Amino acid sequence: MVRKMGVFAVLGYVLYGLFFYWYLFYFAEPKLPFEYQGTKADPATFLNGRELSLSEEYSKIKNLLFFLSTPFEWVLYFLILLFGFSRVFKRWAASSAKYKIVQTAIYLFWLSLFAFMATFPLNYISYSFSKTYHISTQSFPSWMKDELIDFWIHFGTWLIIVPVLYWLMKKSNKRWWLYGWLLSVPFTIFMMFVQPVLIDPLYNDFYPLKNKELEAKILTLAHKAQIPAEHVFEVNMAEKTNAMNAYVTGIGGNARIVLWDTTLNKLSDNQILFIMAHEICHYVEKHIYWGMGGYLLLSLLGLYLIYRIMNWAVDRWGKELKINDVGDIQSLPLFFMILSILLFTASPFTNLASRYQETRADRYAIEMTKNPNAAITSFQELTRSGLSQVNPPLLVKIFRYTHPPMLDRIAKLEEYEIQQRNKEQ
């Protein structure tokens, strides 16, 4: 039975992968709707033939790797349970330490290390393709350093969460999900607060914007929006990527508006001011807080579903999965597998909410700057630098896109430009 379940899991993953390969490379050939052809949203008007070809090739590969990577985790955790690796990790932990808390830490380390090594090839392939298509400029040692930072941050975070969660399972096998969620609220707020000052600097150097003339223009926009900002932060990303980005991060006194130096190097001041106005909208409309509130509500539902699904799975397949009790640390791979499935399932809804916020931010930015040409050309340059698809396939948009596709964003800006021109006539 165990072998059969393992074969079905691997076969299901292979069929899933073949479906998305067919969907991305053969079925979902992106064709620009007729009404957009020749407009400023048409990539043929701002990308040359080679750039068009490269963007399609690169996008297909990156999308395929995305759809392969997450379900790979599900299969991995399932096989870890099915073939007794979780039991082995627990045995190693028990033989290495006397105290329960230390055993849990050792178990979590072995599980995290096994998952890291198993997923490393897909991560490296993704990095390698980014280098091949000149998106990434990062050296392998630098990339490996970031991967190891990721590993230790995730390990450290789960080292706080897992012992508490499994202690709650022992104390209340029917309400642990609720108590766990209540404890997660202050923890989530704390992590959001320290992210800009403790975690982000582990990957890159952050400093106030060097171009003081540009900073003054940005702060003028911020003051118009009644934001008490003193600095705009710049981060050195040119040594890692050719792509561009800007974002808002953190909450309270640690909230920051951040610009990648690649954005500063490739865009004009007017284009950057539009990008900054977009980010200012996220701050003004408190999108970070709305996002955090939505995340906490989803996490409440998610923990409840994990509680129900774990109990059902252990009752039905506990023997095959080598799990005697949900509260046993051996069930942790099952917890991770269900969590990953739920996050993937929820992504169309969270992405939809994010795209709505990004649409509002675009509208706010153009109303504030009233420079549609700078806005349109900035989006065109963002598309070029990241080799992004202007009009992605439907499933890609649903599961991957936290921002509206550039086709929609540029088309709306062009409509605004036409409206403004008509008003002036």
Q: What is the pLDDT of residues 37-66, one digit of tens each?
A: 888 888 989 988 898 889 999 999 999 999
Cβ pair 263, 273 in contact under 8 A: no
Domain boundaries, the chain: 2-204+286-424
Q: What is the mean pLDDT of residues 78-102?
A: 91
Give 212 or 139, the one with higher predicted confidence. 139
pLDDT value at 284 more than 90: no
What is the reported pLDDT for 229?
Answer: 65
What is the reported pLDDT for 111?
Answer: 96
The answer for residues whose C-beta is within 8 angstroms of residue 354's C-beta and 6 or more apart is 291, 402, 403
First to last CA, the chain: 76
What is the reported pLDDT for 272?
Answer: 93
Q: What is the mean pLDDT of residues 193-220?
A: 86
Q: What is the pLDDT of residues 396-422, one digit of tens each?
A: 999 999 999 999 999 999 988 888 877
What is the reported pLDDT for 228?
Answer: 67
Q: What is the mean pLDDT of residues 24-32?
A: 85
pLDDT value at 373 more than 80: yes
pLDDT classification of 1: cutoffs 50, 70, 90: low
pLDDT classification of 299: cutoffs 50, 70, 90: very high
Q: Which two tokens stand for residue 156?
A: 């450290």
Which residue in the block uniquely carries the two structure tokens 């396939």?
393
pLDDT value at 88 more than 90: yes
Give 251 or 8, the one with higher predicted confidence. 8
What percent of the chain has pLDDT above 70?
98
Check 73, 234, 279, 358 and give the catalytic one: 279
pTM of the model: 0.91
How far apart are the C-alpha atoms of 308 and 326, rounded to whole Å?
A: 11
How far apart are the C-alpha atoms of 385 and 380, rounded to whole Å?
A: 9
**Helical ranges in 172-248 per DSSP H:** 176-194, 212-224
CA nearest to 177, candidates 188, 185, 169: 169
What is the reported pLDDT for 13?
Answer: 94
Indicate the average pLDDT of the chain.
90
Give every strand in the sheet of 206-208, ordered side by side.
206-208, 233-235, 256-260, 246-249
Residue 107 sits at the vertex; the CA angle it makes with 76 and 121, to the nearest 5 degrees, is 35
Number of H helices, E strands in the chain: 14, 4
What is the reported pLDDT for 198?
Answer: 86
What is the reported pLDDT for 304?
Answer: 96
Q: Which two tokens stand for residue 291?
A: 């996002």
279 assigned to active site: yes
pLDDT value at 132 more than 70: yes
* Amino acid code (one letter) for 117: M
What percent of the chain has pLDDT above 90?
59
pLDDT classification of 308: cutoffs 50, 70, 90: very high
Residue 52 sits at the vertex; the CA angle it makes with 50 and 58, to the nearest 5 degrees, is 95
Does residue 174 sit in helix, strand or coil? coil
What is the reported pLDDT for 422?
Answer: 76
